[in-house]
Amino acid sequence: MPETPPPPLLKVLWIARLEYRFHSWRERRARARGLEPVATPFPSYGGVDWVRVLGRVLIVPPGKRSRDGLTSVRGWRSFAAIPVGYSQVAISIGGTTHIVVANRGGVIDTVLPATLEPGWQTFTMSAEGGDAIEARVFVVGPQVRFGVVSDIDDTVMVTAIPRPFLAAWNSFVVDEHARQPVPGMAVLLARLARLNSGSPIVYLSTGAWNVAPTLKRFLRRHLFPEGSMLLTDWGPTHDRWFRSGRAHKSENLRRLAEEFPEVQWLLIGDDGQHDDDIYSSFTSDYPANVAGVAIRKLSPAEAVLAGGRTAVNDHSGAAIPWVTASDGAGLLDRLSEVGIITD
């Protein structure tokens, strides 16, 4: 398929134009070698009559694949794939096929009409007439009133992500099996999923979409409950050198509140980034949509590696339950004390 030119923009930062040209050059070279784009779906979510479809179109360099899909993977391999901008993608869902176009970075993020039963459902996605790839979406039923939004970095996975060198080391070098879960967090999230059957779990992170397959394997390997993922794209935007991770989290929280106005969310994060401020702003703007907030406190060693802690505000007088602890077991106890976990 011939390359589709990008849509016109009034003002585009020069580094964004350079990035697009670089990836276009890589794409042409890959196609000349006979490689074709493939659709990579990410766990999505939706309501009974609509679905937010998430995925990416990539040209993946050839390489060995393990039989179980869980072979150790160096982080840099997640970034070796070539994003295919403005690629046409066919999405077949609920008996209807829709044609959508990926954005400049190859990311698919679109809302489509579909009538589906609550719970995990499947649909297919294919890029440029290629093989159809099965995808999964969690459909939130109209009777659901509770959901969980959890950060990933230093909340469920020990990463020390704020410090630039360690962020690069964890993203590009570290073997994925070397990543460690935060103690007790898998048990906490599994308990919440069991006690609130049919409720959505959303993993909201400032991490790049490139590492979504790695994160999915990590969560499955360490027995975290399956959930939808909301990550972001690295690199410049049309008007910024770097994407704002804080804006990404805030925008998606607001979107969840507007898409599911009857759902109250338990917000889980840590004190190594800006989760306390982000969640404070969200609870102020959408108090009816928050069941509670749980903040994991980094250990002294983790705080040093992460470049310190962010200040945690005084929430002792807040109407919404706000708890802190150093691990999942402590948070589970605190959430039980305030009545969010009741078994």
Confidence tier at 318 by pLDDT (50, 70, 90): confident
Query: Nearest 10 degrees: CA dihedral of 244, 245, 247, 251?
Result: 140
Average pLDDT (220-235) is: 88
Residue identified by tokens 């306390």 is: 276
Average pLDDT (263-280) is: 92
What is the reported pLDDT for 264?
Answer: 98
**Residue 143 and residue 47 in contact, taking contact as beta carbons nearer than 8 Å:** no
Q: How many CA atoms lie within 13 A of 112 on its CB side?
A: 26
Residue 140 has pLDDT above 60, yes or no: yes
Mean pLDDT is lowest, of 183-187, 205-209, 291-295, for: 205-209
Residue 330 has pLDDT above 50, yes or no: yes
Please give the share of the chain, as a percent, with pLDDT higher than 90. Answer: 55
Mean pLDDT is lowest, of 8-12, 261-265, 267-271, for: 8-12
Confidence tier at 72 by pLDDT (50, 70, 90): very low
Alpha helices in the chain (DSSP H): 14-32, 164-172, 185-195, 212-221, 245-259, 275-285, 300-305, 328-337
Q: Position 190: which residue type?
A: A
Average pLDDT (129-136) is: 94
Q: What is the pTM of this model?
A: 0.84
Pairing of the two strands 38-47 and 50-59: antiparallel
**Residue 287 and residue 319 in contact, taking contact as beta carbons nearer than 8 Å:** yes
Q: Which residues make beta-bridge pairs with 133?
A: 125
Q: Which residues make beta-bridge pairs with 12?
A: none
> Dihedral sign, CA of 169, 172, 173, 177?
positive
Q: Domains (ranges, CATH) in the chain?
A: 14-139 (2.60.40.10), 146-337 (3.40.50.1000)
What is the reported pLDDT for 31?
Answer: 82
Closest of 302, 284, 234 to residue 16, by C-alpha: 234
Residue 251 has pLDDT above 80, yes or no: yes
Measured between alpha carbons, how far is 331 from 302 in angstroms, rounded to an integer?
18
Confidence tier at 71 by pLDDT (50, 70, 90): very low
**Residue 126 and residue 180 in contact, taking contact as beta carbons nearer than 8 Å:** no
Average pLDDT (141-168) is: 80
**CA distances from residue 196 to 27, 141, 200, 342 in whole angstroms, order as listed:** 45, 12, 9, 11
**Residues with Cβ within 8 Å of residue 334, at least 6 apart in sequence:** 294, 323, 324, 325
Q: What is the DSSP string of 190-228?
A: HHHHHHTTT--EEEEEEEEGGGHHHHHHHHHHTTPPP-E
Average pLDDT (260-278) is: 92
- Higher per-residue confidence, 25 vs 66: 25
What is the reported pLDDT for 68?
Answer: 37
- Higher per-residue confidence, 217 vs 296: 296
> Dihedral sign, CA of 130, 133, 138, 141?
positive
Measured between alpha carbons, how far is 152 from 27 in angstroms, rounded to an integer?
31
What is the reported pLDDT for 150?
Answer: 98
What is the reported pLDDT for 202?
Answer: 98
Average pLDDT (252-275) is: 94
Average pLDDT (65-94) is: 68
